[in-house]
Every structure is written in C-alpha cells, then in structure tokens.
Structure 1
C-alpha cells in the first residue's frame, strides 16, 4: 500500500480516529457514530472509509512492535533497561502492549464499521461491494493476527460495535476467546473475500493497496499456528502462482529503504515527516558527530540522524551465518566500505556487530525514519510452505521451497538431500532467522513452535543478566493491560501472570 490518502475528513470524524485511545471512545459518547449510516452514499465515500482502516497500522509497525517480536527473541536484545527488554512486564506495567492493544482494537472498530456501512448501503452498486469489503476484511484479519500472536486468547467481534456507546461498552466487557477459534473464523472470512481482490503481486496493485496476496499470507500464517498444514500449503501455492520463482527478486530489494519491490507482499508505508517510523534509531550504529558512526564515516546516513541504544545480536544469531552468505553483511554490520566499526573490532575483533544496512535510513532527520516497514514478502511464504509440507510428509515440496531461499543467497547452500522431518524443521527455523530477522515475526515463530522459553533461555538470557533473572514461560504472551482488565469488570484475565 502506498501512502493512502484520506479523501474526506468526514471519515475521521465518524470513526473518532483523532482520539488517542479506546478510553476516550468510552468516555465521550460521540454523536458522530450515530450518523455513520448517512456516510456510505458513494463509492468514493466507501473508499475513504476503507482507507481509514489502514491508519492504526502506523501506530503498530514501529519500534514498539519490533521490541515485542525481534528484540525479545533468541536473535537479539536491547540493553537499555525497559520492562520489555528485561522481561519485567506485568498487567500493571505492560510495556509496549498497552499501545498495541489499543491501536489494534481501534483499527478493528473502524474495519467493522466500514464493512457494515458498505454492506448496508443502498447507494453503492452491489458489484462494487466485494472488493471494498474484502480489503477492509483483510486489514481486520491483520489486526487479529497481531493480537492473537501477541496476547493469545483475546476478545473477538466482527459486528459494527462502533456505532453506539452501549455497543462499545459491550466490547470492553468481552472475555477472552480461544485464539485457535478466532484464527479459524478469520481464515474462513479471508477465504470468502480473497477471490474478490486483485490476484496479482502487491507491487502491481494501484497505489500498492492490499490485494489477494496479503489475504493468502494471513491464511498461511494462521494455518501454521493452528497446525492446518494443508490449508497453509494451498494458500502458499496460490502465492507461488502469483510470484513465480524467488530467483528473479534481488536480495537488495529486502532493504527497508527499497520500497514496494516486486517480492513484497505487504509493507507499511512511511514517507516524509507525517508518517514516520522510529525503527532505524535502534538499528543504526551509534553516531558520535557529523556522519561518523562508531568510528566510520558513512556519508549516505547523513549528519542529522538520531541513534539510540541499538539492538545487539546474540552469539547464536551470529553463528548462523557463513562468511559466504551475502545476507550476513546486510543484516549484521561489522564494517562499512572496508572499514571496521569500533564495536565489532573490539577484543581482537570478537565484539558484537551492529544491525546492518538492511535497516538503515539514509539521511534520516533526527528520528524521522521514512523507510517502509517490511512485514511479509515472498521468501517468507516459501519458508512457510517448506515447513507445512515437511509436517505433512511431502519432502519434495518442502525441499524445493527452502532451496529457493537458500539458492538466492548462495547456490552452495542448497540441501542436497532430505535430512529427515525433525532435522528439516530445525533447518527451517535457522533459515527463517537468516532471511527474515527484523521483519516482525521471530518471537511469534518461537511461541508457535513451542520453543520460546527454551530458546531465549539458551541465548539472550546467557548474555543479559536481567533476562536470566526475570524470564518466565508465561512471557511467551504479553499480559492484557490492567486498565483493560479493570474496564471489563474482571471478565478479562491474566491468569498466567497472576500465579
């Protein structure tokens, strides 16, 4: 999706997007919700409503979600003492969970109201409705994918609960629903609407809007969680039909600065000073002055970049790359233009590298990272296909899929023979780390595999004392913020955190 314009300010009024949180929805009882039925008179108005469905993604795909998915995994960590980095989160101090919970549910409210408004409109031609509804339904599915991956069981609703204050109160008092059941429902909804969306690469869709590729990707992601291997395979093979061979896509296209390249399935669009991320501030070597970054002059990064404490790779992550893997120096920065940074050359060149140029934002002004945030791309889909086919006992499909990813990096990396089901799964896990670090998914993969506690204990926890002290098995999911628990009258619970 490109920077999507909101064609009418009316939609902002109707959905209350200027409000900072669900709390204000519940406190203010806005009259505009009651007049939403009068809005869906034209296709242009409906498109404005669909555009609004995207907006809360800008609040989510930033440094906070990167913290929750990548810096709290077996691959990297931060050392600046926050509750998330040290696994000190609790219901009363939930870290990044508070903002992500609120933004996701605000986004769902908008999607539900948009879908209901378009469905109920008597002015919009019936043949125009499926594509509009389908786009909103896929965005809603993305919000639920985030919520169930981060919190596990959560409240689930698809009705237009944003049209009245009383309905919003009912939503606030919903209890947790099984994440497995939610994903089954969302997958069925995606299967219904995917055929109505453009069946082409995301980069080929006008304005990079959401099309069928994201619907298929979300079906596959949720099918892996629910161990529905056949469903995942079918969805990923749909993507294979659309995207073709991975070899046609350049590795440099995976860099966040290179926007909306042909391999992309979904990116959150950041541009200029209005829509900006802050991820590069935690993914760039420390800047001392001018264009000098940890002892190395990097003109392309400019002289105005703000850098904060950067993510540190674990020794385990570093060990996964061979020197002949071109992804090594893209994801991890030991040097630039042949000159070593101070940190990795310390202790006789055994120090930790910085995050690599995949994440850097050239000429960033202060914290204004205008790179797109890459969420899903075709290499991810192939590794999902490899995993599902392996689980289903189809080594030929599994081998072809993983070897496409390996061969693009280096033809010498391909697996010559199938190593067996268990060994193949372990290789998928490693390959996902090499290929997809920083793309908002590592912790969720660990949780999905049942590996979270054991892998973090064996990696990050051995390098950071606070993680070793605080880490518990229940940290696989974030707690629902206590403010939401209180608002629900105790119907929402955090039983694992209260033991």
Structure 2
C-alpha cells in the first residue's frame, strides 16, 4: 500500500475511534495503521497525525474520569449507588476504568505511530521535525500520567511496534512495569524535547495546541509522584518565567465556560455536537421538567433543555474549608443564586448540602451536551506544586511566596504571614489545593501520592455515606486492570491487591 493511502487510512481510523468510544481498539485490526517507512510525505501530513494524538482525550476527560478522581475522594461523592461511587469495583466489574484504560492505550498507540512516521520520514525537513516530535511525546506522557495515576504499575512501551494492533496484545504480555520507573523515563523524555516546544502561554499558541507549559506541568506532576522535589521546582520555575504573577489572571477565568484564558496551561477543547463532555450533568442542581428552574431557583441562562443527573455532593470537610470571605465558596459550591436559596441547602434550617457551583455549569446545555472545555491544568496548580516541592526541600521562602500568590488572588487577607513549620505548611497546602482545584481531575490522585487516600476518605465521604463505609478498602487507591485485559495478556497482567 502506498504511503499516501496509509495516511488516509490513519485519518479515517482516528475519526472512527473518536466517535466509537464503546468499541475496544484491541478488537480492531487495521494492519495498515502505520507500515511504511516513508509514511509522511509533507509537514502537513505529519501535523494531521499529531492532531490525532489528541483525540482520545475526548474519551477520557469526561464524567467518568471526574468520578474516578473527584467523586471518590475526600471532597465529594455521588449517592446513586453505582460501582465506582460505592467502591464496588473489581477486575470483573471495573467501572469507568475499562474505558479509560482502552482510550489511554489507544492514544499511546497513535502517539507512537505518529512519532515513528515523523522520525522515518524523508519528506520533512530536519528542522521541522523537533516541534512535531516534542508535541507527540508530550501527549504520550499525558496518557501515561493518567494510566500510572489511576492504575499504578502498567505496561509501558514507546516503540513503533505499537503501530500494529496485534503488537498491543504482545505489549500487554509484558505485564506491569514499575510506575516510578515509567515516570522517570517520561521525565527524561520531556526534558529532552521541551526546548523544542513554544515557550509561551498556552493561550498564545495557535489553535490551542500544547506547548512547553504542558510539558513542564507534566514534568512537575510526575516528579511529585516520585518525590523528586528539585525536578518539580525547576519545571515550575520555568512556568513562572512564562506566566508571571498570578494576580494578573481573574479568578472568574477558572470557570469551565470561559475557554482558553491566559491562566490556562491545558484544556481539552469541547465544542459543537461531536466533541462534547457530560460533566455538567453531574455538576448542576436538578432541573424541573420543561422549565429553567433548578432546585427551586429560576436560572434563565441555563435554559430549559439541560439534562441533570444525580449531582455530586460535597463533603462536610470540603464545605468547612471555605469561609464567607472566600469568593470560591459560592462558585465552587452553590448555596444560592442571585440571592435566592436553593431548596436543598435551605433545608433543615439552612444546614442542607449545597450543590456544585456555577464554576462547572454549562449555559443553555442541550440535553447532555456539555460544551465547556475541561480544565486539566492551570497556573494556580503549578504554584501550589512549587509550594509543595519547595517545602519538602526546606525552602520556606519559595514555598511561602508560591502559596501566597494563590491565597492573595482570592483575598489578600488570606496570605500566610508566618511560616507554620514544615508539617503545618504541608497541611495548609493540601487544604489550599482542595479549595482552589476541586473538580479539576486531581484530588484522588493527590491523596494517593500523599499516602492518605484510605484514611482521608474513611474520615470524610465514608463517614457520610454508608455504602462507601461498607465497601471502602485500602486497595481502592488504584483501579484494577479490567479482567478482559488480564485475560488478553494471558494472565501476565495481574491485580494482586484485589485478590485479598
């Protein structure tokens, strides 16, 4: 088959995968996905292949991943009794992890194939290759960041063997690779290629492509997991050089409806009818039938066609973190709207639970079609990461400066005036991450890397919901690898923790 025809096949295959998320990619066998040394004849073809590396993110950054990272943490929960929200997952009933595993490895396969095609191409000028390679390397690292955070040790491969769907089955037979080693490899890869990416804010990069900010953010995230504090500090200092003072970015820009604002480091781009999320369906008060009335409050801008499912319930712990002087209280949580109390928080003499706040709502949503971008990484997160790593290095001055940028943007009176000691600062940093970043796909992973998942969820969500108290186990810090993948590997992939 000629290379130009292969290029057409990859484009068509990726479109099919993007709109057919329920089909497991390992069950498909388009053998010509990438089989020619001279796959890309032009830079435009290579750029199209890099574009394909983004597509599986639409299958990941949705309500399923929100459930796996936020509604199964110490900050909120769902009461509708599903496998994930009740901690009833097992290898044979893995909940949302089945689709996320498949989507992430499909994304890695596309990245590996794209990298092979660019590296082997003789039709692209040598100086044009590094930015394309760097972008695909960064996206591959994002998929592995998701996998290692969610499953721990996972199969790891970066070769072009993954261009063959049959080869992916062979990769599964490698078994689990130590997550720490995977992260070290990813960090080295990102450090090698990040100089080739645009060294400017994500909002300034054409077509909302990923640049150096995403690569630096991933270096920092992976380094925190591996407790490589100096590596994290160095990456976050690069971000500070690009982004400057947090005070220049309005707090309201953190709302999901406001897309690609200057503070953003990486957002999954949702628009139209094919690229849609469903997160707002779980983050909006219940709507009365046929009208724009949400738990007793008329909200015209949300419209009368929004589908609302069981909404996330904040824990008492999350509620306790906000004071009335914190403007995030009434954007992250919804007690009232335009001065009118919702029915639930007004119940029991105004002691009822609030709803998720307008930070997450989608204006005039049609049924489940949430067109908000999903905010994955923001600069405030980077500053809190810098604060955490600097504190572990006993650099109190840097730690205090970083956390106070986040606090002072919210309210200047919130800034810490004295260093509370290493442990005291560590605890305040964890609280500030909850206040600032709830709903941004990271809380459970933070708890796991801090070694506090089981104790914190036991003391919060499990204390409020009996089904969590009954089912929660320490091994739930990671999801099980789906049994279908275990069987596909011939039993090489295992779930020892779930065999207890």
Aligned to 1:470: 471
Equivalence map 1:126-275=2 (5 Å): 126-275=126-275
State the match for 2:384 in structure 1.
383
How far off its partner does 1:59 sit? 0.2
Q: Give the secondary-structure state (helix, strand or coil) at the position aligned to 1:324.
A: coil
Following the alignment from structure 2 to structure 1, what is the Cα–Cα distance between the partners of residues 283 and 315?
Answer: 14
Report whether the alignment pairs 1:453 with 2:429: no
**C-alpha deviation, 1:401, in angstroms:** 0.2
Unaligned segments of structure 1, at least 5 residues? 1-7
Write the deviation string for residues 149-208 of structure 1: whole angstroms up to 9, x where unpaired. Answer: 000000000001233354233113120000000000000000011000000000000011
SS in 2 for 1:430: helix
Separation in 2, partners of 1:243, 1:34: 38
2:315 maps to: 314
Residue matched to 1:12: 11
Q: Once the 2 structures are TM-superposed, how far is the Cα of residue 459 of structure 1 from its aligned partner?
A: 0.2
Counterpart for residue 337 of structure 1: 338
CA contact (8 A) 1:15 1:33 kept: no
Alignment pair present for 1:302 and 2:324:
no
Do the aligned partners of residues 430 and 165 (structure 1) sit closer, same or farther apart at CA in structure 2, a change above 3 Å counting? Answer: closer
Residue 4 (structure 2) aligns with = none
Kept after mapping to 1: 8 A contact 2:9/2:32: no
Q: Note closer, same or farther for the CA distance 1:250–1:24 as it changes in structure 2 (3 Å cut).
A: closer
Residue pair 1:22, 1:106 contacting (<8 A) in 2 also = no
Alignment pair present for 1:93 and 2:98: no
Residue 71 (structure 1) aligned with residue 68 (structure 2)? no
TM-score w.r.t. length of structure 1? 0.96
Kept in 1, the 8 Å contact 2:172–2:493? The answer is no
Instruction: Tell me how far 1:146 sits from its aligned partner.
Output: 0.2
Number of aligned residues: 492
**Structure 2 gap segments, 5+ residues each:** 1-6
Deviation above 6 Å: which 4+ runs of structure 1?
none
Change (3 A) 1:262 1:24: closer
**Two-structure CA RMSD over aligned residues (Å):** 1.4
Residue 123 of structure 1 is matched in structure 2 by 123
Question: 1:25 Cα deviation (Å)?
Answer: 4.7
Q: 2-side partners of 1:251 and 1:34: how far apart?
A: 45
User: What secondary structure is seen at the aligned counterpart in 1 of 2:377?
Assistant: strand
Q: 1:34 to 1:139 in 2, by over 3 A?
A: closer
Question: In 1, Cα distance between the equivalents of 2:165 and 2:267?
Answer: 34
Q: Give yes or no for contact 2:150–2:445 (8 Å, CA) kept in 1.
A: yes
Deviation of 1:37 (Å): 3.7
CA shift in 2, pair 1:358/1:21, >3 Å: closer
Go from structure 1 to structure 2 and tell me whether the alpha carbon gap of 1:370 and 1:34 turns closer, same or farther (over 3 Å shift).
closer
The whole-number CA distance in structure 1 between the counterparts of 2:253 and 2:364 is 19
1:328–1:10 CA distance, 2 compared to 1 (3 A): same
Deviation at 1:272, TM superposition (A): 1.4
Shift of 1:12: 2.5
Tell me if the contact between 2:38 and 2:122 (Cα under 8 Å) persists in the aligned partners: no
Q: Is the 8 A contact 1:14 1:36 kept in 2?
A: no
C-alpha distance in 2, partners of 1:396/1:458? 32
How far off is 1:22 after superposition? 10
CA distance 1:221–1:276, shift in 2 (3 Å): same
Residue 24 (structure 1) shift: 5.5
Partner of 1:481: 482
How big is each residue's C-alpha offset from its partner over 1:200-235, in whole Å with a ceiling of 9 and x where there is no partner? 000000011000000000000000000000000000
The 5 A counterparts of 1:365-380 are 365-380=366-381
**Distance of 2:69 and 2:27 partners within structure 1:** 32
Distance 2:349 2:22 in 1: 53
Q: Distance in 2 between matches of 1:16 and 1:259?
A: 24
Q: Identify the residue that residue 352 of structure 1 maps to in structure 2.
A: 353
Deviation, 1:9, is 4.9
Note if contact 1:327-1:434 (Cα within 8 Å) is conserved in structure 2: yes
Specify the SS of the correspondent of 2:119.
helix
| Contact 2:384–2:403 (8 Å) recurs in 1 | yes
Q: Which residue of 1 aligns with 2:409?
A: 408
* Residues in 2 aligned to 1:228 and 1:471: alpha-carbon distance in whole angstroms: 30
**Equivalent residues of 1:14, 1:32 under 8 A apart:** no
Shift of 1:274: 1.2
Contact kept? 2:198, 2:211, Cα under 8 Å: yes
Answer whether contact 2:9 2:33 (CA < 8 A) is retained: no
CA contact (8 A) 2:232 2:386 kept: yes
TM-score by length of 2: 0.96
